[in-house]
Structure 1
């Protein structure tokens, strides 16, 4: 799975994209509201670990997420 942090502009907030190995979009959620999206993917139990990675990730960088 890959993770991309997208910088929002003006009134648009920052977002995160989670993509699979073929780069198909799995989830797209606001940085401050990951709950429902991570639960739908079955990653709700790893939310703290994923959010730690997201908070330290620079904007626009594609990173392989191995959990």
Structure 2
């Protein structure tokens, strides 16, 4: 699984994309509101770990996540 942090512009907020090994989009959510999206794809129990990684991740970088 891959995490990409996308910088918002003007009134569009910052977003996070979670993608699988084939780079198919699994989840797309605002940085400040991840709860429902992570629950929906079955990662609700790992939400705190994922959000800690996202906080340190620079915009536009791709991070491989092994869960």
Match of 2:45 in 1: 45
Q: Distance in 2 between matches of 1:17 and 1:2?
A: 8
Which stretches of structure 1, 4 residues or longer, exceed 4 Å deviation after superposition? none
Gapped regions of structure 2 (runs ≥ 5) = none
Distance in 1 (CA, whole Å) between partners of 2:66 and 2:33 is 21
Report how many residues are paired. Answer: 67
Calculate the aligned-residue CA RMSD, in Å.
Answer: 0.5
- Structure 1's unaligned 5+ residue stretches are none
| Matches for 1:45-64 after TM superposition, within 5 Å | 45-64=45-64
Q: Supply the distance in 2 between the matched residues of 1:14 and 1:65 (Cα, whole angstroms).
A: 20
1:2 equivalent to 2:13? Answer no
* Deviations 1:31-50 (CA, angstroms, capped at 9, x unpaired): 00000000011100110000
TM-score, length-normalised on structure 2? 0.98
The equivalent of 1:65 in structure 2 is 65
TM-score scaled by length of structure 1:
0.98
